[in-house]
Chain A
């Protein structure tokens, strides 16, 4: 079975400080990993993905994520948080070896950047 865990429901960070949103996964194979962001009354907006290759993935709006196979983690990071980064962040996994295209999502982490 596959699952994604986002251990923190809420993360607060001061504007200008680095931010980290945590994600761990459990799959029985090689995963595709994704981060999406959701603003109020909006759909999900793609930030970045890991498929293979370099463990450090750079994405939109200055976000990056590091794939750590031994710790089965894919934490989202940004060196300097902006107030406009305040939103709901979702980590998702898709199994590489199956034919299924569906994403399994974590429960989401609400990021609040304090001015």
Chain B
């Protein structure tokens, strides 16, 4: 069974631009969560989607948004990029998001210049 895939793997953007990252979960998994990893703040939860609905949200500004499609694929969008948004963005999937193991993708490394 294929793992979680994320595209693109690397991105370079400039301040003020917006960016969209994509995540395809493991087949059959309906819960998708997004995390931000930075050297300073570590791993922080962004949001979780299940059945096309945001079920839970972390403490990030409204510039960070996401959505989930009927095939469980998810996208996250960051508008008006800031230098501090430079990070590794990780997507994780699980069956229903009710305590099962979350399996992570390889991440998208975003550099904001």
Binding site for B on A (CB under 8 A): 32, 34, 36, 41-46, 49, 51, 90, 92, 94, 96, 99-108
Contact = CB atoms under 8 A, between A and B. Distances in A.
Contacts of A41: 106, 109
B99 A96 contact: yes
Nearest to B109: A41
Contacts of A94: 99
Contacts of B98: 101
Given A90-B43, A107-B42, A43 B106 contact: yes
Contacts of B42: 105-108
B71 to A, nearest CB: 20
A101 B66 CA distance: 16
Contacts of A107: 42
B56 interface: yes
Given A96-B99, A105-B43, A44 B55 contact: no
B90 A101 contact: no
Contacts of A108: 42-43
B8 to A, nearest CB: 14
Given A90-B43, A102-B48, A103-B45, A46 B101 contact: yes
Contacts of B25: none
Interface of B: 4, 6, 31, 33, 35, 42-45, 48, 55-56, 58, 90, 92, 94, 97-99, 101-107, 109
A99 to B, nearest CB: 7
Contacts of A43: 4, 6, 90, 104-107
Contacts of B43: 90, 92, 103, 105, 108
Given A43-B104, A101-B31, 16 more contacts: A41-B106, A42-B106, A43-B4, A43-B107, A44-B92, A44-B104, A45-B104, A46-B102, A92-B43, A99-B55, A100-B55, A100-B56, A101-B56, A102-B48, A103-B33, A108-B43
A35 B42 CA distance: 15
